[in-house]
Structure 1
Amino acid sequence: MATSSPRTSTTGEAGQRRRDAAGTRRLLLDAARRRFAADGYTGTTVRDIADEAGVNVALISRYFTSKEGLFEACLVGAVDELSHAVEPDVTLDRLPETIATQLAGTGRGGKPNQFLLLLRSSGDEQADQIRRNTVHSFAERLARAAGWHPDHPDADRLMLRAQIALATGFGIVLLRASTGLEPLSSAGRDELVGPMRDVIDGLLRERDAR
């Protein structure tokens, strides 16, 4: 009995430290994503992020090495979440609802927006390559939903239309997040589905892509 207590205590303390470390990382990531999305990479300092997270600024170096490392971690998280939202095999019929659901969280006062992170350049080549790859992957998913593949006889035109559809989505994100333009800024998912269906149908339906 006398020897079991210290072991249990040590194990418990180690588990608590791991939980504290994971919690601190989450706080920093959440704060960083809000800051980077709202103010951009250059407009955000590590102290801004640490203050918003309520932790010591030195913990950014401990857990993420640098501001660039934290930005890259935010991008990786955004890529994972958006990849789950827009599956590689999403169909053309489901695209408007899928996109509208994502856009519904991008208004003022909405949840930290993943799309905005993909528009923010960091000046760090590795992080920016992740951004470029992600945007390209999303455009390719839109194009594939419309029947695109590399050997398609009209591949370039289909990809261009998919990229224009993606650019429309990014434009909506920027206007909702930064201008307060109404009724766009406060429109919900159900209100966005119809217009997004018009955009997708107009650009990507086979009859329009010929």
Structure 2
Amino acid sequence: MRGGRDADATRRALVRAARRRFATGGYRATTVRRIAADVGVNVALISRYFGSKEGLFEACMNRTVDELGTGDRARPVGVDAVIDRLIGHVVESPNADDPLQLLLLLRSSGDENADSIRRRTLESFTERLAASAGWSADDPSSAPLLLRAQVAMATMLGLVMLRTSTGVQPAAAATFEDLAGPLGQVFRVLLADPDATP
């Protein structure tokens, strides 16, 4: 039992270290040896747990999307719960990991495979976000919800970057209660009321 827990802890530590390296140094400049050294483990564990550097990068991207909390494709979370989670993510974002994970989502790597993983991850996230608002790939009339979900995602990421990288007030100090009204209204226009004019 302990070995399984240790392996899970090592996987999490590798993903955390990799996110920092990929976000600050870029995909190409980051080596699996440096990531392994950051965690204090043998580099062979990256191949064992993730298959390759690309597999580790994909695990980093998936963790970021999971933290944004839209549920999975099979069981999307309701739109009100998603809106609360998005606002909560903006409020909780001034922490050591968050600006880095956003850089990971937004920064082009210059590597075709890594950029393809990033694009697929962002598309998957917006599809899950749109699904919470009623989008379905089988329903062409719901297609505008994909764009609305991307606008909602861009709004959230932009506000997080404003809060974490510039410290602009009052945005940087805004609480959940401060943001729930205006940000919740924007998200609801985009996701909960598709007939409203954004």
TM-score (norm. length: structure 1): 0.68
Partner SS, residue 185 of structure 1 = helix
How many residues are paired up? 192
Q: Within the alignment, does 1:138 sit opposite 2:117 as a pair? A: no
Out of 63, 67, 78, the residue aligned to residue 53 of structure 2 is 67
The answer on whether the counterparts of 1:104 and 1:189 sit within 8 Å (CA) in structure 2 is yes
What letter is aligned with 1:208? A
In structure 2, C-alpha distance between the alignment counterparts of 1:104 and 1:158, rounded to whole Å: 25
In structure 2, C-alpha distance between the alignment counterparts of 1:96 and 1:105, rounded to whole Å: 14
Q: Within the alignment, does 1:175 sit opposite 2:139 as a pair? A: no
Q: Per the alignment, do residues 58 and 112 of structure 1 end up closer, same or farther by CA in structure 2, a change over 3 Å counting? A: farther
**Which string of whole-angstrom CA distances, capped at 9 and with x for unpartnered residues, describes residues 175-202 of structure 1?**
3343333333343434332232121133
Q: Within the alignment, does 1:32 sit opposite 2:18 as a pair? A: yes
Match of 1:86 in 2: 70
**Which string of whole-angstrom CA distances, capped at 9 and with x for unpartnered residues, describes residues 125-156 of structure 1?**
2x444432332233233333444334353x34
What letter is aligned with 1:70? L
How far is the alpha carbon of 1:171 from its aligned partner? Answer: 1.6
Match of 1:151 in 2: 139
In structure 1, C-alpha distance between the alignment counterparts of 2:179 and 2:26, rounded to whole Å: 26
TM-score (norm. length: structure 2): 0.71
Out of 97, 101, 109, the residue aligned to residue 96 of structure 2 is 109
Q: Within the alignment, does 1:208 sit opposite 2:162 as a pair? A: no
Q: Superposition RMSD on alpha carbons, in Å?
A: 3.4
Q: Per the alignment, do residues 20 and 91 of structure 1 end up closer, same or farther by CA in structure 2, a change over 3 Å counting? A: closer
What letter is aligned with 2:15? L
Q: State the identity %.
A: 50
Structure 1, gaps ≥5 residues long = 1-14
In structure 2, C-alpha distance between the alignment counterparts of 1:60 and 1:145, rounded to whole Å: 34
